[in-house]
Structure 1
């Protein structure tokens, strides 16, 4: 189940629905627009989660170079350590435990009229693993998605990592 109470299967079926249009054009539209922006040499840095997970130092160095930030090996190690999945998840959990999100939720919405103590704080962090999608897709869903992906992205040169 998604954090907003929607079942994954329902979201998945929305990809194939002609009646239910996804908000903001959907995933395929987003990817195509992004690919076009990159091909038009917009000032965009592309960072893939899978590459960051496999080679964090290399990817953080690439990001620092893109941002034109001076870096040292020590700084890159500190950033890699501080931004590790486990540390970020722990920080997220700590904010929840100390009710820091209440201030964020209520502060972001001055018209908030609900019971602050009943606000649900859904984690942005899941497992931090490459290929976790396999734990959510059935074999049939995977086959259907692969087929839809091939049709929708037929002219795409965009590199998408699924594992």
Structure 2
């Protein structure tokens, strides 16, 4: 119920959180905030109507979560009283004295349950595949994704310190990021799509270019047929500026984030990387990118 303080809003001192160290976990860089509950998460019991929203961090997770939440549950009271990170739990997150995403997911009363993860596909609890759950994966071009992740790491107290931008680029290229290499992540999920028919693979850039069109594709994947009015309502509700102003969508009620450093929702644009990369950095990155993506059929746009 709305009156009961939810797990993620318990009063505790966020300044007591110390930034974590990264370590290698089954071949992927992780921190303890996402591995401490590993066994429970692997044993998570998915239901056939669960919908899993999977992304590399900062690729449009909250955006797509919000679209799905509106499509299924409409503009009701929960939209104004329950933050999106409680309506769509972050499965693998566990913060001491703060709650676990798995517990939130287990206690969700909605049907379908909308659940998000940043896991590479091989870490996803097997019950999601066994129950033949629908999965929505959102991918974003590497340069914009990295810029967004950099600003996120600056303001999020449960992420490692990002350090300088110039060294951050190298860390990103080497895959030394929480949740591992962007390249492995987007390609791993792309390959999974070839063998798992209930996976809808979306691109952040397409969503920016034509939100309505992408919502239509989502609805067709999910078997939903909203009325013209409903679709209009969803499309305008999920415009970046509307979400950025909405305290239930913009993470301003989440204590682990320091909005004095940067907002959680910063620009929501394609091509902001040009304001961060020098020409030399961009050329070096592009060369490395070509090598890493040479065997992939995935195509990204860095501008639209």
TM-score tier by shorter-chain length is 0.7 to 0.9
- For residue 258 of structure 2, the aligned residue among 112, 115, 120 is 120
Tell me the residue number matched to 2:202.
Answer: 47
For each residue in 1:115-163, what CA deviation from the matched residue of structure 2 results, as whole angstroms up to 9, or x when unmatched? xxxx624532111221111111111111111111110011100121211
Matched ranges for 1:1-163 at <5 A: 2-5=151-154, 6=162, 7-17=164-174, 21-92=176-247, 96=252, 100-102=253-255, 105=256, 120-121=258-259, 122-163=262-303
For each residue in 1:6-38, what CA deviation from the matched residue of structure 2 results, as whole angstroms up to 9, or x when unmatched? 232221021345xx8444331111122112112
* Deviating more after overlay: 39-48 vs 71-80: 39-48
- For residues 94 and 139 of structure 1, the distance between their equivalents in structure 2, rounded to whole angstroms, comes to 32
Which structure shows the higher helix fraction? Answer: 1
Q: 1:158 to 1:123 in 2, by over 3 A?
A: same
Q: Give aligned pairs, total.
A: 143
* Deviating more after overlay: 37-46 vs 74-83: 37-46
What secondary structure does 1:47 align onto? Answer: strand
Report if the CA contact (8 A) 1:15-1:22 is conserved.
yes
Q: 1:125 to 1:152 in 2, by over 3 A?
A: same
Provide structure 1 residue ranges, at least 5 long, that are not aligned to the other structure. Answer: 106-118
Report if the CA contact (8 A) 1:61-1:71 is conserved.
no
Tell me the residue number matched to 2:31.
Answer: none
- For residues 250 and 177 of structure 2, the distance between their equivalents in structure 1, rounded to whole angstroms, comes to 33
Provide structure 2 residue ranges, at least 5 long, that are not aligned to the other structure. Answer: 1-149, 155-161
- For residues 55 and 71 of structure 1, the distance between their equivalents in structure 2, rounded to whole angstroms, comes to 17
- For residues 59 and 124 of structure 1, the distance between their equivalents in structure 2, rounded to whole angstroms, comes to 23
For each residue in 1:84-106, what CA deviation from the matched residue of structure 2 results, as whole angstroms up to 9, or x when unmatched? 0000001148763xxx334xx5x
Tell me the residue number matched to 2:35.
Answer: none
Aligned-residue Cα RMSD (Å) equals: 2.3
- For residues 94 and 147 of structure 1, the distance between their equivalents in structure 2, rounded to whole angstroms, comes to 35
Which structure shows the higher strand fraction? Answer: 2
The higher radius of gyration belongs to 1
